[in-house]
A = this chain, B = another copy of it.
Amino acid sequence: MPPPITLLTDFGIDDAYAAVMKGVILTRDPRATLVDITHAIEPQNIRHGAFVLATAYRYFPKNTIHVAVVDPGVGGERRGIILKVAGSLFVAPDNGLLTYVIDQLNLNDDVVPDSGTEATMIRLKRGIEAVSITDPRFWRTPVSPTFHGRDVFAPVAAGLSLGLSPYEFGEKTDVLTVLPITRPQRMGPGETVGQVMHIDHFGNLVSDIRSSDLPPGPVEVYIAGCRIDGISHNYLGSGELLAILGSSGYLEISLRNGSAARYLEALVGDEVSVRAIA
């Protein structure tokens, strides 16, 4: 029984695009176990896809193949890549979709930029296995210039599922594309300022602040002009608005039995500040 293959795309679930990728995979490896991570990534929003992918991959079995397709540059010069790291294989366009995976697993030798909006190439640490998908032997032909998910990435994933080495699909590369990642700033010992990275289905505001970024001792959290007293251990604390270390390890702002995003009219990029109580 081969490891699962996961799919993350911005294809939506109204059309057959995601299903077509599954059909191509099952045609080549009928034993494949397919799991949708999501197909609701905002169209062409690579950063959104990169973030959701990074919240998911670590919970899958060893050697799971993660196929991610958010691909505004399809049909152009951007490469397709395979990245093999401890326990996971990733198949994706080389456009920054693996940014948070690379950052979390500390695969980069060069520093991932923390400002700007442009994607940049960074060098990987020695020993990291990455492959540029260049060998057309496994592709469907002719390759549609608008649907590499079907004609390139799905066939490559099926080939990996069948046990082929990543090196069968192209040449080793030691650089990959990343997007800049904002980091929370320590404003002296008593304050950390971060921002909202993601808003989830419940309207929870997921910030980029981790436990290790917090000032020591009791704190207050500020967002959108609201003050939250302390960090709660669950959704049952006093007060309606809560700050809590969420299940992905980031500080989240939640509204008890409601949507913090709607209540605060908050957006991705909004500032979140944590201050030690004087």
Q: Which residues of A contact B (CB under 8 A)?
A: 1, 3-4, 6, 8, 11-17, 19-20, 22-24, 26-27, 30-31, 33-40, 43-44, 52-53, 55-56, 59-62, 64, 72-76, 144-147, 150, 200-202, 233-236, 244, 246-247, 257, 259
A15 B234 Cβ-Cβ under 8 A: no
Shortest Cβ distance from A174 into chain B, in angstroms? 26
> Given known contacts A14-B201, A34-B35, A146-B246, what 11 new A-B pairs fall within 8 Å (CB)?
A4-B30, A14-B38, A15-B38, A19-B36, A26-B60, A27-B60, A27-B61, A30-B33, A44-B257, A145-B233, A147-B246
Contact A234 B145, beta carbon cutoff 8 Å: yes
Quick check: B64 and A23 within 8 Å, CB to CB?
A: yes
- The minimal Cβ–Cβ distance linking A9 to chain B, given in whole angstroms, is 10
- Give CA–CA (A4, B26) in the complex, Å: 8
Determine if B234 and A16 form an interchain contact, defined as CB atoms under 8 angstroms apart.
no
Taken together as a complex, chains A and B put the C-alpha atoms of A34 and B35 apart, in Å, by 9
Contact of A35 among B1, B3, B14, B19 (CB under 8 A): B19
Residue of chain B at shortest CB distance from A147: B247
Cβ–Cβ contact B19 & A38, under 8 A: yes
In the bound complex, do residue B234 and residue A76 qualify as a contact, i.e. CB atoms below 8 Å apart? Answer: yes
Shortest distance in angstroms between A261's beta carbon and chain B's nearest beta carbon?
12
Chain B residues positioned under 8 Å from A13 (CB to CB):
13, 36, 38-40
Q: Which residue of B lies closest to A36 (CB)?
A: B19
Q: Which residues of B contact A246 (CB under 8 A)?
A: 144, 146-147
Q: Which residue of B lies closest to A204 (CB)?
A: B146
Instruction: Output the least CB separation between A219 and chain B (Å).
Output: 18
CB-CB < 8 A to A16: which residues of B? 8, 37-38, 52-53, 55-56
User: Contacts A44-B257, A56-B23 given: A146-B234 contact, CB under 8 Å?
Assistant: yes
A155 to chain B, nearest CB (A): 11
Which residues of B are found within 8 Å of A22, using beta-carbon distances?
Answer: 35
